[in-house]
Amino acid sequence: MDIAALQAFVAVAETGSFSQASDRLFLTQPAISKRVAQLESELDTRLFDRIGRTITLTESGKALLPRARHILLELEDSRRAISNLSGKIAGQLDIGTSHHIGLHRLPPILRHYTASYPDVELDLHFMDSEEACRAVSHGDLELGVVTLPLAPPPELQIRIVWPDPLDFIVYPDHPLISKPSPISPTQLCEYPAILPAPGTYTREIIERAFRPYGLHIPIRMGTNYLETIKMMVSVGLGWSVLPRSMLSDDLRVLTISELHLSRRLGAVWHGGRMLSNAAQAMLDSLPACEDE
C-alpha cells in the first residue's frame, strides 16, 4: 500500500476537501485526486462519496481512516527513532499554541530555544487550544503548548507549566463597581457577559463554576480571542473573565463570593508516539510549574 496515497486519503478525510488537502500536502489537486483514485483501485472500493462540493467518507473510508492514521504514525515514529539515535537536535518540529500563550508566555522560551538549537526548523501553528489538542491526538502536530483540557483524552500526555488564575473584570464605570463587595453570582448574572466561545476549555471552566447555582449567564457575545474580549469589556459592553496576567488600568476586578477560577497552561503530546530530540528539547526548555 503506497504511503503517499494514504497521506492523501487522510488529508482529504480530515479536511473534507481535495483542495484543502492539496494545500496541506503542498501538492496539486489533480495529484491528490490521482493518489486517492490509486488507493481506491487497489482496495477495490470507493472511499469517498462526492455529492456536488460535499465530500464524505463511505463506510469503507470510515473503516480505513483510523488504520491509515496508525500506519502513518508508526512510520513517523520509526523515522524519529532512527533519527534520535544520532543524538542530534535538528529537523522540523511542529507545535500548536494559542494566540494568548504565543503572545504572553512563549516569546522568551522560543528566543532561547532557537538560539540553542539553530538546526531545528520550528513550525509554529497558532490555533485554538482545543484544535491543537485534536491535532496532537491525530498526529498532525508533535507538541501543543495550550490551555490544558479539564479531562484530557487518554492518548494525550500533559505537563502543567503555568497555573493561570482568572479574574472577573469590568470597565471602571460598570454599575457593579458601586455594589458592596463581594458580589453574589446572582447579582453578576443580572448584567450581560462577554465570554470565550462555547466549546473552549476556558468557557467550560466558567460554566462548570456557575452550574451549582442554576443560573443563566446572559451572554452578549462569545469569541475565542481574549484580547478582543479585553477590548470589549474596556469599552463597557459587559463583564467577563480573563487571565490575571492580562489586567490593565482600564479594567477593574470584581470579587465574586465563592467563585475562584483558574485554568492550567502547559504542554501536550501523544503518549503512544516517540518524541523527536527536538520535541524533547522543547519540553526541557519549558519552565518548571510555578506555584499558584
Please identify, among 27, 52, 83, the residue that sits at the C-terminal boundary of a domain.
Answer: 83
In what helix (H) or strand (E) does residue 102 lie, and over which residues does it extend? helix 99-104
Supply 244's cell numbers. 490575571
In what helix (H) or strand (E) does residue 144 lie, and over which residues does it extend? strand 143-147
pLDDT of 208 higher than 90 = yes
Summary mean pLDDT of the chain: 92
pTM higher than 0.85 for the full model?
A: no
CATH of the domain at 232: 3.40.190.290
pLDDT tens, position by position, 129-180: 999 999 999 888 999 999 999 999 999 999 999 999 999 999 999 999 999 9
DSSP per-residue string spanning 109-126: HHHHHHHH-TTEEEEEEE
pLDDT tens, position by position, 10-64: 999 988 999 999 988 889 999 999 999 999 999 999 999 988 778 899 999 999 9
pLDDT tens, position by position, 62-88: 999 999 988 888 888 888 778 777 778
Q: Are residues 112 and 133 in the same domain?
A: yes
pLDDT of 224 higher than 90 = no
Q: Are residues 127 and 167 in the same domain?
A: no
Determine, yes or no, domain membership for 291.
no
Q: Are residues 273 and 139 in the same domain?
A: yes
Q: What's the start-to-end Cα distance of the chain, in Å?
A: 51
Q: Are residues 22 and 72 in the same domain?
A: yes
Locate all alpha helices (DSSP H) within the chain, ordered by sequence: 3-15, 18-25, 29-43, 59-84, 99-104, 107-116, 129-138, 185-188, 201-210, 226-234, 277-285
Residue ranges making up the domain that contains 107: 91-157+265-285
pLDDT at 290: 65
